[in-house]
Amino acid sequence: MAAWRDYFELMKVRIAGLLMLVALAGYIATSGTQIGANRLGALLIAGFLASTGSSVLNSYVDRDIDLLMDRTRHRALPMRRIHPPQKVLAFGALLVAGGLIVAWFLDNPLTAGFIALGVATYLGVYTLGLKRRSESNIVIGGFAGSCPALAGSAAAIGSVSLPAVLIALLVFLWTPGHFWALAYRQRDDYRRARLPMLSATRDDRTAVRAIAGSSILVAGVAVAFALTPAFGAAYVLVAIGAAAGLVYVTWRFSRDPSAATAWTGYKYSSVFLGFLLIGIIVDAVVRLPV
């Protein structure tokens, strides 16, 4: 019999937290200190509901391959702790619908539209369309993680700002290397499930080069944002430090490719993105000139 913990696990709250930070950065980078508490609160609630609902629906769709992977086989659906699985489908749909309703009525239709675009990209393009068919799955599907930044800007001013576009670009470029590192560590899982993630389908040398190239690219782009008028000195200081760390863990992985160094790179890349987003928020509030 399912417990509330089983449903909560399917929501993947840690992922939702990172996406809410993306949305928060998009909002504050756009609004600066002119923060509307009601609009921001509605944005975060809507984003949380839509993100957790998407994760629940993804778990419903992937319940067959989750059973084949060591990392996921003990989840509620593969272990049949929730039965019938249609209960999960209804739960996820309710969460997503709730998020879109909150965004539409308490923020604005554009905010709801960007949240819906993120849900559609993640579930439709990535989960149903590309995940089991193409090596480009996470490259294209990664756009879903960019949508919260655009939704944040829409909630703040009803349109899309330059800082929000740059945050969206940052998340888009960050996503492939982050998940390829995880797939490198879990190659046997992905091969067993016949998922065409690049790290599992290509030879070791090609996979390492792809992960390293993606990581170095996002580190360079993050620092290059200093050349735009969107961010100031506070962001630049954070970006340089975070990028240096990413370059270091990438160098370690490239020098000694292994499950351990891939896992270190995967974990640090989350820290890297989190630091950058916090740096963007602080920079928008302090607004120091470069």
Under the banding of pLDDT at 50, 70 and 90, the label for residue 203 is very high
Higher pLDDT, 287 or 179: 179
CA angle 127–165–53, rounded 5-degree value? 30
Average pLDDT of the chain is: 95
Whether residue 289 is predicted with pLDDT greater than 90 in this model: the reply is: no
Q: What is the pLDDT of residue 59?
A: 96
Under the banding of pLDDT at 50, 70 and 90, the label for residue 60 is very high
Q: What is the pLDDT of residues 73-89, one digit of tens each?
A: 999 999 999 989 999 99
Q: What is the pLDDT of residue 1?
A: 55
Token pair for residue 166?
A: 């740059």
B/e letters for 238-274, b = 16+ CB within 10 Å, e = fewer, are: bbeebbebbeebbebbbeebeeebbbbbbebbeebbe
Whether residue 150 is predicted with pLDDT greater than 80 in this model: the reply is: yes
DSSP 3-state of 69: coil
Q: How many structural domains is the chain composed of?
A: 1
R_g (Cα) of the chain, nearest Å: 19
Residue 158's region, left for phi above 0, alpha for psi from -120 to 50, else beta, is: left
Q: What is the pLDDT of residue 4?
A: 87
Peptide bond into 148 cis (omega under 30): no
What would the mean pLDDT of 191-211 be, rounded to a whole number?
A: 94
- Of the candidates 131, 108, 110, 128, the residue with the CA atom closest to the CA atom of residue 120: 128
Q: What is the pLDDT of residues 2-41, one digit of tens each?
A: 678 999 999 999 999 999 999 999 999 999 888 999 999 9
Whether residue 277 is predicted with pLDDT greater than 90 in this model: the reply is: yes
Let me know: does 111 contact 32? Beta carbons within 8 Å: no
Q: What is the pLDDT of residues 154-183, one digit of tens each?
A: 999 999 999 999 999 999 999 999 999 999
What would the mean pLDDT of 116-142 be, rounded to a whole number?
A: 96
Q: What is the pLDDT of residue 33?
A: 85
How far, in Å, CA of 283 to CA of 42, rounded?
Answer: 23
Alpha helices in the chain (DSSP H): 4-10, 13-31, 37-61, 63-66, 86-102, 109-120, 137-141, 147-157, 162-185, 187-192, 198-201, 204-224, 233-255, 259-286
Task: For residue 162, count CB atoms less than 10 angstroms from its CB and return exposed for 0-12, middle for 13-18, buried for 19 or more.
Answer: middle
Q: What is the pLDDT of residue 2?
A: 63
CATH number, domain containing residue 248: 1.10.600
Residues of the chain with pLDDT > 70: what percent?
A: 98
Q: What is the pLDDT of residue 288?
A: 44
The domain in which residue 198 lies consists of 4-286
Amino acid of residue 124: G
- Of the candidates 223, 220, 226, the residue with the CA atom closest to the CA atom of residue 289: 226
